[in-house]
């Protein structure tokens, strides 16, 4: 049983998996060029997440079938050792969570594959064209703060680590006991400068070396 940390929270896109979900749907529909710049602006902290999401969804207009397809793309595009790392963390007694601005139906497919409890998955539930809600125990419509609120709630149960690749992850990570930046999929120099720990290799094994 690990005594150092109780909880570990992973971002999904460009952390557990090697793709950005909405970019993949946009690529499938021939819309990637229009969407990619908006994704980058949000991930680098130049555009609030809620604005980035609305702009991209307005262009892409994903269907339910698109989101199921994306879920299986997530599974196929897992970072090479992600499943092994998660299995080891659970074996060592840590609670594993996914916290992401990705859309819930797709993230649920990935969570099921990794055997992460549905209650431990917090993503964005799209109810109608411009109405969003973060899933999970926090249940909020404020998509610019939901990551922070989720981390705060989990951290109250014990020492918590957050692993992510973007600035919204970093801001939420301020409310964890430790933030680990992941640049194994997309290297972000501005994020590296802010991190005590920053992983540049395309695998998650170093997370085990840090937290166990």
**Got the DSSP string for 105-174?**
HHHHHHHHHTT--GGGEEEEEEEETTEEEE-STT--S-TTTHHHHHHHHHHTTS-EEEEESSHHHHHHHT
- Catalytic residue (choose from 11, 23, 66, 169): 11
Q: Is the pTM of this model over 0.85?
A: yes
Phi, psi of 37 (to 5 degrees): -65, -35
11 belongs to the catalytic site: yes
Catalytic residue list contains 13: yes
> Residue 127: its pLDDT value, please?
63
- Tally of residues, the chain: 212
Catalytic residue among 13, 66, 165, 169: 13
pLDDT along the chain (212 residues), means of 10: 83 97 95 92 85 90 94 98 98 96 93 95 70 47 84 96 96 98 97 97 97 95
């Amino acid at each position: 049983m690990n005594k150092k940390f109780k909880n570990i929270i992973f971002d999904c896109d460009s952390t557990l998996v090697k793709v950005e979900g909405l970019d993949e749907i946009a690529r499938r529909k021939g819309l990637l060029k229009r969407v990619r710049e908006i994704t980058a602006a949000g991930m680098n902290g130049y555009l609030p997440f809620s604005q980035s999401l609305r702009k991209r969804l307005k262009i892409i207009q994903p269907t339910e079938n698109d989101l199921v397809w994306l879920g299986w793309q997530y599974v196929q595009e897992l970072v090479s050792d992600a499943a092994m790392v998660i299995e080891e963390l659970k074996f060592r007694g840590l609670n594993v969570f996914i916290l992401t601005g990705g859309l819930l139906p797709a993230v649920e497919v990935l969570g099921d594959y990794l055997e992460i409890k549905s209650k431990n998955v917090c993503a964005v539930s799209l109810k109608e064209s411009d109405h969003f809600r973060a899933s999970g125990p926090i249940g909020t419509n404020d998509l610019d703060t939901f990551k922070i609120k989720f981390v705060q709630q989990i951290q109250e149960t014990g020492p918590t680590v957050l692993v992510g690749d973007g600035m919204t992850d970093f801001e939420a990570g301020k409310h964890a006991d430790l933030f680990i930046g992941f640049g194994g999929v997309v290297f972000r120099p501005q994020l590296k400068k802010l991190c005590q720990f920053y992983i540049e290799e395309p695998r998650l094994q170093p997370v085990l070396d840090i937290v166990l």
